[in-house]
Each structure stands twice: as C-alpha cells, then as structure tokens.
Homo-oligomer: A and B are copies of this chain.
C-alpha cells in the first residue's frame, strides 16, 4: 500500500515547461528560442538597488516595514497606482475603477490559478483562443477543467458569429451550464503576437452580456505594456461599455516588463462574490505576495523608473524582433514557413510548410535538437493539441549575436527536413 493522492494530486503530470527547462539545463550548448524570459542584460539591478538604498536611507524606521508582512490583498498604494494606470490606458474617467477590487498576486499566474479554482469544478468548461497561453492550458488540465477552443478568424480574432453558434450548440447539447468563462490573451499574445481588436472584444462582451452574468470574461493582458512603438488602441475589458455588467477579471503582470524575479502580478475583478472568494483562497495559499517585491515595484512605478525602463525595453525588443525576423528571413520563407512581424511582445509565431509537424516527437524537433536550438512546439498552445504545425520563437532571452546563430541553426533544421521531404 502507499500514499493515495487526491483526485487533483493524481491528475498532475510533469509540465512541458519543466521538460523545456530540463533540456536547457542538460544541454548548455542549446540556444533557446523557447523561453519566454526577458533579456538578462535588460534586468534593472541598479535601479532596484537604488530603490532598496532609498528604503534603507530614508531615516525613518517606517520603511523597514517593507520587510514586514503585508496585507493579504496587497499594498494599497500599489493598487491605487495600478488602477490609475489602467484608467489612463483605457481612457476612462479618473475614479471609474476601485482599488478595493484589485488584488496583488505572485505574477498574473497565481491570479489566473485562483480565479479558475474558485470558478470551475472539474469538468467545467473555459473557452480559449486558438492558440492560447500554454501554461494556462496546463493549469486548466491540472484543475480538471475542459479547455474548449473558440472559432477564430484569419485575422487572429475570435469569430464572434462562430462563438454565438458555439454557445447555442452548448445550450442544445446541455453543456452550457458547465461553461464558466471566456479567456482572452489580448495584447501581443503569447504565443501568437496577436492583439485582439476592439471590435472583437466588444463583440464577445455583447454576446456574453446576453447570458445574465453567468459566464465570466477573463482578460490576460500580460504583454499590454510591451508594445514596440505605439500602444494598442484597443481598451481593456474594464474600459468597454458592452462589458459593464459582466463578471470581469482583468489580469496582468508588473514584473515581466521590469524584473521577472520580483514576481508581482494583479487582478481586477468586478464581481464582488468572486473577488471575496478569491481573496480567501489567496489568504490560505500565502496570505499576501512578497511585501518587499510589492514595495519595490510600487516605488519603481511612482518614481517613473518603471516607465523609463519600459521605454528602453521596448526599443530593445523591437531591435531583437527585427534581428530574428531578418535572420530567419527569406531563406526560411522560401522553404514555405510563414509568420508576420508582431507589434509587441516577445514572440514570432511561425507556421511550417505543408503541415510539417513540430511537436516534441517530430522529426523537425529532433533536427532542431541536433542543431542545438530550442523552440516551443505550437501544439502545446492549442487546446486538443491541434494544429501541430506551428512553432513559438522567442527573441526575449538571447542577445543579437546569439539570435543570429539560433536563426542559422533553426534554418538548417528546417532545410534538412525540407530536403528529406
């Protein structure tokens, strides 16, 4: 006999990210176009150091409390700053959002986890884009929740008419009661680089608003501030009229665009019962995100260190995106690969020719391993693991020199497979 785990415990399988990370550790010769990490050279260690020095030299012992426990919900001043920031981005009225509806979490990941935990029982359904954030898919699987792909337009937006038909057919098929949320990755998405248009957001919101608040609308805006040149004009769901009466959760991270090692994210929830329930679970999981990390980010935002850093990052990522795009360039396109330049984020989303499979067990993946380059197989980003002919290529981690080398290796693998066909 041995320890018998819970249903949730038994449902777990090793994650695909762990697989990628293990490969990265075991094969230091590998160049990673896989990791969605930011660029080490960009990390604002001196800025963070200055902030901590400012805490220490404030002369008041009051600032020592940054090393004390904080509250479960998160620092009030940080929540207020964030609310203002969202109002500004959405061009909504000052004061239209309420800081008490915001909670601070360990990255946006924990916010998403707690949201699904409190909303979905095993067997419930969440509608996702194709493709979507693959760690979210892993999380749904871990919680026993059914990820259903929504019909998509060629543009990369949700097909709202198609979605309406899906809802109707779920009602007919008796599945609608189990539908709990629609999840959109809305800006420079991981993995596709796509930004959801304002029209599509309004369309989805309008559709959901016919369902009497039964279906939550979750927006994952993790990359919203990581545009290259100009911010997207599409407001977030908190700034969209059609969504005003829906249960909304808007979530993003503060540390991917600054210092991932601090791991601070947040969620803004318009449904008070849901929010209360999420706060209780947060209290049980860790009663509050690292207070020190929160204080650092808060100070960075209020002192504009954060925004200055963001402008630098934007220029840097644009340069690196162009570098990878051009290095893959015509030679890869001539083999039949297709992708478009994103206007923000960290990824190129490339489609292979003739349905060539890119999954972990594919000949193409083996060829890339042989050449010493890693990518994220596109099937991981699709509910039902289909289609299988995409690759997510990140220009986040490597410097330009390494990006050129990685592009060469990727091309060699693609070329070898092409010749083999």
Residues of chain A touching chain B, judged by Cβ–Cβ distance below 8 Å, are 1-10, 12-15, 17-18, 21, 37-38, 40-41, 43-46, 48-49, 52-53, 55-56, 61, 63-72, 106-107, 109-110, 113, 117-121, 124, 135, 138-139, 142-143, 211-216, 247, 259-263, 271, 273-274, 276-281, 283-293, 295
Contacts and interface: CB of A to CB of B under 8 A. Distances in A.
Nearest to A118: B9
A240 to B, nearest CB: 18
Oligomer: number of copies: 2
A115 to B, nearest CB: 9
A43 B17 contact: no
A285 B113 contact: yes
A52 to B, nearest CB: 5
Nearest to A110: B286
Contacts of A286: 106-107, 109-110, 113, 263
A212 B2 contact: yes
Given A3-B271, A9-B118, A56 B65 contact: no
Contacts of A52: 48-49, 52-53
Nearest to A37: B69
Contacts of A4: 214
A9 B119 contact: yes
A261 B70 CA distance: 7
B68 A43 contact: yes
A277 B67 contact: no
A106 B290 contact: yes
Given A21-B71, A135-B287, A273-B5, A40 B12 contact: no
A390 to B, nearest CB: 22
A263 B291 contact: yes
A6 B293 contact: no
B109 A9 contact: no
Contacts of A285: 106, 109-110, 113, 285
Nearest to A55: B45
B6 A120 contact: yes
B46 A56 contact: yes
Contact of A40 (B68, B109, B277): B68
7 contacts: A2-B214, A3-B271, A12-B118, A12-B276, A45-B64, A48-B52, A109-B286
Nearest to A41: B61
A110 to B, nearest CB: 5
Contacts of A38: 68
Contact of A64 (B15, B40, B273, B288): B40
Contacts of A271: 2-3
A247 B3 contact: yes
Contacts of A290: 106, 261-263, 290, 293
A8 B281 contact: yes
Nearest to A212: B1
A10 B65 contact: no
Contacts of A56: 45-46, 48-49
